[in-house]
Structure 1
Amino acid sequence: MSDLGIGIVGLHNHYHAYPFADYLRKGLPGMRLVGVADERADLAKEFAADYTDGVWTADYADLIRRDDVDAVIVTSYTSAHADHVELAAEAGKPVLLDKPIATTMADARRIVDASEQVKVMMAYLLRYLPAYRQVLDAVRDGAVGDLVSGFYSIRFPVGAITDSPKTTTQGWYADPVRGGGGGFLDHGVHFTDFFRWFFGADAVNVTGQVGALTYKDLGVEDYGIATYTLDSGAIVTVESTWHAADYFGPLSSPDHASLSGTRGEIELHYQKSPQTEIQGIDPPWTGRRYLDLVGEERYEACYRDLLLAFRDWVNGEEPDGLPTAYDGLKALEMILGAYRSAETGARVTLPLDENVAEAAA
């Protein structure tokens, strides 16, 4: 079987586009990077010179329709996702899609519909963190009993969010149309997906608050917090921010989760040592267990393993825990429900009906 030719559609989320390209340039079996498309011609041309044989275009459709492009990675700004996925579906090209899936439920449904024509995988990095996957195995083995509550939080500075590697401004990230929201949406969808993945459950209601607490002229929120009841009866909270004064890490672990089960507790701090702690009360999980990976397995491997899972899925395998377009829709719905709750001051029932969903967006 020949290598899967990959095209990168948009460099707007450069935080993901460039690491994917780094791994493809280093060489992953069965994959090769063909070219890139971005309307910012200078950026696309420079990227192509660094990562490809110089193939670039400012026309997304031209790249997607190339005969040597077999699949695409979509890392364009969020409101363009539905258009780009539909272009890929028309061309019969599978898609690895950046988060969030879309800015509205209507666009998310367009992408789910397109996934009936071609495979669409969400690029949820947390699902491919080696430490988290090992902890999930322990949860499934009964290390802490049934999960009943959780809290996931990130403290991130808005100054670390930029429109491209060459700018210092937020650009599309702070555009409520192109980005769809601010600090709560941007990172929050990682965590709403995390809870669906770890708890194996969907949210049935949400109470949320969002606001611009530090950067009041940003144009979007820099803070959001929401508490969800899941259909398992568990209660989980997501706090996602861009309002930290600086990037304080790794000792303070700006990204962390706390999980409680009926027979134990778990701490996840992948940017700090130890990265995870499991405390159980039943053999063989009695006491405390720690996990601390080193090298690329500590974090960067999530990009590698996500790409390999995408390759395997395109080639007909069924990798465990692979996030689909439907998972992207459900993670977005949880965020939009929180926005709606903040707007109305009331608890919002999930799933959202169409009128509520589009009003929240």
Structure 2
Amino acid sequence: MQKLNDSEVRWGVIGVGNVCEVKSAPAMNLVPHSKLVGVMRRDEAKVKDYASRHGVPKWYTDAQQLINDPEVNAIYIATPPNAHLEMTRMAAEAGKPVYMEKPMARTHSECLAMIEVCEKANVPLYVAYYRRALPHFVQIKELIDGGAIGEIRTVHVNMKQVVEPEIITMLENNWRVVPEIAGGGYFFDLASHQLDLLDFFFGKITHASGFATNQAKAYAAEDLVVGSFVFENGVLGTGNWCFTSSHSAEKDEIILDGSTGQIRFATFGKGEFTLIQDFQEPQHFHLSLPHHIQQPLIQSIVEDLLGTGTCPSTGVSGARANWVMGELVKTKIA
């Protein structure tokens, strides 16, 4: 795969919405040999405001114009998923590497099409599954690989959230629960992070099945998914995702059970996890998270593009999360 024949990654961002305020784009000016040089949004007032507040020298209301800017040599696509394939094709045809927000696309077939266009154009494709680079998850992987809890037996994901009032009252602005835009509901938005993280720990999931339903009828997308899955190394897993839960049942926890211990953590927490080894007191870890949460992953992308390192989250790995989600929601319960 062709990397950059340059000494600096000069980013152009398509879709500077909320995710670009703190989580991602500002880090592009903090990573060595990286610079944010242009941003795009269809709303001229909003893109001008973003560029002014973040000190970005160029702004556009047309994605193709940003992509064609000769100063821009890498594209970050931060739009909702329904635009990912089209924007990836445009960037790839211009010969520019692509960094894609998650979930990678609405469907696994769209992911495969994105991989294909990038391979044809010989440009790298990365996905914003930034948990692969966060320090506490890297440490958990090191503990797993080092045998801290023995042979892994099972994995369980337990995700429960309430329906917040603003989800209903502002539904027309909440693309995350519009399947035509997002591919599904909050399961696609949040479980994608969890399933990709487990892929990082244990390798790809080779079998998955489940049931999905719209139980509360608060919006069009599924709000309850249960399922099971098998990793390529033989580890078995289960998951229960409910997005219309009671306050008393709210939960964000993944449990990794091994032959000699257990690791517990929240996917969307504060850099904390607990290690429980047989016949020992539990150990609680708390690692600091970066202010710009995507910065470690963005740094790995810059190093990968410049030939000084590797990135753990690619189009190939990102597509696997979409495949698993598709299998888990395949059977719909009325």
Same-fold call, TM cutoff 0.5: yes
Q: 1:245: how far off?
A: 6.2
Aligned runs of 1:231-310 on 2, under 5 Å?
Answer: 231-244=232-245, 254-269=251-266, 275-281=272-278, 287-293=281-287, 297-298=288-289, 300=291, 302-310=293-301
Taking a change above 3 Å as real, the CA distance of residues 161 and 327 of structure 1, as seen in their structure-2 partners, is: farther
SS in 1 for 2:23: helix
Given the two structures, how large is their TM-score scaled by the length of structure 2? 0.87
Taking a change above 3 Å as real, the CA distance of residues 18 and 58 of structure 1, as seen in their structure-2 partners, is: farther
Q: Structure 1 residue aligned with 2:124, among 119, 123, 131?
A: 119
Q: Structure 2 residue aligned with 1:78, among 71, 78, 81?
A: 81
Q: Structure 2 residue aligned with 1:335, among 317, 325, 334?
A: 325
Structure 1 CA distance, aligned partners of 2:184 and 2:269? 28
Contact kept? 1:155, 1:240, Cα under 8 Å: yes
Q: 1:22: how far off?
A: 2.8
Q: 1:301: how far off?
A: 5.5
1:265 aligned partner, one-letter code: Q
Taking a change above 3 Å as real, the CA distance of residues 328 and 17 of structure 1, as seen in their structure-2 partners, is: farther
Q: 1:185: how far off?
A: 1.1
Q: Structure 2 residue aligned with 1:314, among 305, 321, 331?
A: 305
Q: 1:153: how far off?
A: 3.1
Contact kept? 1:292, 1:298, Cα under 8 Å: no
Q: Deviations over 1:111-137 (max 9, x none)?
A: 111332211111102212211111111
Q: 1:217: how far off?
A: 3.6
- For structure 1, the residue ranges without an aligned partner over 5 or more in a row are 346-361
- CA RMSD for the aligned pairs? 2.8
1:204 aligned partner, one-letter code: H
Structure 1 CA distance, aligned partners of 2:162 and 2:35? 34
Of 148-157 and 133-142, more deviation after overlay is shown by 148-157
Structure 1 CA distance, aligned partners of 2:269 and 2:10? 36
Report the counterpart of residue 37 of structure 1 in structure 2: 40
Contact kept? 1:263, 1:280, Cα under 8 Å: yes
> Equivalent pairs: percent with the same residue?
22
- For structure 2, the residue ranges without an aligned partner over 5 or more in a row are 1-5
Contact kept? 2:211, 2:226, Cα under 8 Å: yes
Q: Structure 2 residue aligned with 1:24, among 13, 21, 28?
A: 28
Given the two structures, how large is their TM-score scaled by the length of structure 1? 0.81
Aligned runs of 1:165-176 on 2, under 5 Å?
Answer: 170-176=173-179
Report the counterpart of residue 209 of structure 1 in structure 2: 211
Structure 1 CA distance, aligned partners of 2:165 and 2:265? 23
Q: Structure 1 residue aligned with 2:90, among 87, 92, 105?
A: 87
Give the number of equivalent residue pairs.
Answer: 325
Whether 1:63 aligns to 2:66 is yes
Report the counterpart of residue 151 of structure 1 in structure 2: 156
SS in 1 for 2:179: coil
Structure 2 CA distance, aligned partners of 1:271 and 1:195? 14
1:142 aligned partner, one-letter code: G
Taking a change above 3 Å as real, the CA distance of residues 37 and 203 of structure 1, as seen in their structure-2 partners, is: same
Q: 1:100: how far off?
A: 1.1
Structure 2 CA distance, aligned partners of 1:254 and 1:104? 27
Contact kept? 1:258, 1:266, Cα under 8 Å: yes
Q: 1:272: how far off?
A: 5.7
Structure 1 CA distance, aligned partners of 2:144 and 2:159? 23
SS in 2 for 1:100: coil
Structure 1 CA distance, aligned partners of 2:166 and 2:239? 20
Structure 1 CA distance, aligned partners of 2:149 and 2:165? 36
